[in-house]
Structure 1
Amino acid sequence: MNTSYPNLFVPGAGKSGTSALHEYLDQHPKIGMSSKKEPHYWTRLDFESLSQEQHQTYLSLFPDKSELEFKGESSTGYMLFPNFIERIQHQYSEVPKFIFLLRNPIDRCYSHYWWLRGMGSEKLPFKEAVLADFDVEPSPKTKLAEANYKSYFQYGLYAKWL
């Protein structure tokens, strides 16, 4: 049974290469990344009331190998959640490592739009979609899927989230 929490986090911006980095890190012999990318464990709305079984389910996402120096996970939603680092630090005696992966905000926005178009979640032309969504702020109280993964512009305001 795996009892150690991850000590490496990739909370970068969505559509910024976090999936590729997750895979590259997992190829390193001293790093074991979660089997599921984006578990969003530390930003769960019900985090304070998670059962021991739910904690163990999260821990089971990580390889249980003694030779690993780092166990990591990548969840882009962490960047938008103001308390995620505080929640994480309560589990550790040492400070975990964080890699914030960012991308040119305009390129990120355009990629985000085409990702949603490809999934069939966006029907509007690019300009209309961004303008319709311009002031919509992501909220830590709303699951990304419930918000249809939008907030094209707001996700690129990195200084606001970091």
Structure 2
Amino acid sequence: MSQSKLPNFIIFGSTKSGSTSLCNYLVQHPDIFISKRKEPNFFLYDEGSIITNKKGKTTVYTIDWYKYWFKKAQEKAIGEASVSYIANEQAPIRIKSRLPDVKLIALLRDPVSRVYSHYLFNQRNNKHEGEKSLLKVIEADQKQGSPEQYFEKGLYYYYLKKYFDIFDRQNIKLFLFEDFTSDPLKVVKDIFTFLNVDSSFVPVVGAKDAPSGIPKNKTIYNFIYKDNFLRKALRPIMRTLFPNREKRRTLWTNLISRNLSRPPLPSETRKVILEMYKPDIIKLQELIDRDLSKWLS
């Protein structure tokens, strides 16, 4: 397999920041290929590592395994999206070793909103035993060294500094979550230019990533998120009625949203978490040359 079958761009950044939607917009471009495997996470591990996931499936992370996900790529821009690369100290070193000229694209979300969204997502999926507040979950996560990395994943300056130290700044493109939500088409077109593909191409945008929240109705939630006979039966019908994939995603996201309630983050909790993140946010402003005063308020 040739070097050309390795990606020349990687999407990473904070969780719950719209990376799934971004990939769905970018991949519509005729000159862009993105791995169909969601989050290969190859650079989280040393090559040759043997990892068993929560479902019991074992993967040997070899370079040939990684190349497999790009073997059909004929496009000019070849990429993958693994948001967890941002909070792994060895990831930038491993990426630089294998892909020295790769272009890096990151979406960053206000870390307090991000950690709360992360918390609600896991609450929805019954990952917290008993009734635990967000602060208690963060505290337990830090003490136990959980892979969830609730708090650590929001230390953007700490982790991004390593990328800026290792890669040329011109090969790193950063966007704030609010940039993406307010004008997704502008962000997508900026990325087209960054990847040196035709920026006049206009993708269908609009469908957003599934929101976080607590299900109002568990039966509806299980139907939406878990494989079942009815879901499988409806798929070909939906594809016939709505051949455009983004329109199907929009309908699906709207259905999800209507069944979720998002309790507000208590103001005192927000203040405590913001104080924890404040030093990192202040340093991040200087690193990326962006005004982050809204994050600090």
Whether TM-score is above 0.5 comes out as yes
Please show how residues 36-55 of structure 1 align to structure 2 within 5 Å: 36-44=37-45, 47-49=46-48, 54-55=62-63
Residue ranges of structure 2 left out of the alignment (5+ in a row)? 51-59, 161-297
Is residue 34 of structure 1 aligned with residue 35 of structure 2? yes
Shift of residue 88, structure 1, vs aligned partner? 1.7
Partner of 1:7: 8
The answer as to whether partners of 1:11 and 1:101 remain within 8 angstroms in 2 is yes
Equivalent position of 1:70 in the other structure: 77
Q: CA RMSD in A?
A: 2.9
Asked if 1:89 corresponds to 2:90, the answer is: no
State the 1:56 CA deviation.
2.2
Cα 1:137–1:161 shift into 2, 3 Å: farther
Q: Does residue 120 in structure 1 map to residue 101 in structure 2? A: no
User: What code does the residue aligned with 2:135 have?
Assistant: V
Secondary structure of the corresponding residue to residue 58 of structure 1 = helix
Label 1:69 to 1:114 Cα distance change in 2 as closer, same or farther (>3 A).
Answer: same
In the aligned structure 2, how far is the partner of 1:156 from the partner of 1:14? 9
Give the corresponding residue for 1:61.
Answer: 69
Contact 1:130 1:152 in 2 (8 A): no
Deviation at 1:97, TM superposition (A): 0.6
> Do the aligned partners of residues 124 and 55 (structure 1) sit closer, same or farther apart at CA in structure 2, a change above 3 Å counting?
same
From the two aligned structures, give the one with the greater helix fraction.
2
Tell me the CA shift for residue 148 of structure 1.
Answer: 5.4
Taking the aligned partners of 2:61 and 2:35, their CA distance within structure 1 comes to 17
In the aligned structure 2, how far is the partner of 1:89 from the partner of 1:83? Answer: 10
TM-score (norm 2): 0.44
TM-score scaled by length of structure 1: 0.77
Q: Could you tell me how far apart the structure 2 residues matched to 1:135 and 1:23 are?
A: 35
Matched-pair identity in %: 30
1:133 aligns with 2:132: no
Equivalent residues of 1:10, 1:73 under 8 A apart: yes
For structure 1, which runs of at least 5 residues remain unmatched after alignment? none
In structure 2, distance between residues paired with 1:41 and 1:137: 25
* Higher RCO, Cα 8 Å, sep 6+: 1
Aligned to 2:155: 157
Using the TM superposition, give the Cα deviation of residue 132 of structure 1 relative to its aligned residue in structure 2, in angstroms. Answer: 3.8
CA deviation profile, 1:39-92 (whole Å, cap 9, x unmatched): 110112xx23369993222222125233x1211111111001122222122224
**Number of residues paired by the alignment?**
150
Distance 1:129 1:13 in 2: 18
Indicate the structure (1 or 2) with the bigger Cα radius of gyration: 2
Q: What amino acid maps onto 1:22 in structure 2?
A: C
Q: Supply the AA of the counterpart residue of 1:48.
A: E
What's the offset of the Cα at 1:125?
4.9
SS at match of 1:62: coil
Q: SS at 1:77's partner residue?
A: helix
Inter-CA distance 110–48: structure 2 relative to 1 (3 Å threshold): same
Q: How does 1:102-121 map to 2 (within 5 A)?
A: 102-121=108-127
Retained in 2: the 8 A contact 1:63–1:71?
no
Aligned-partner Cα distance in 2 for 1:20–1:63 = 23
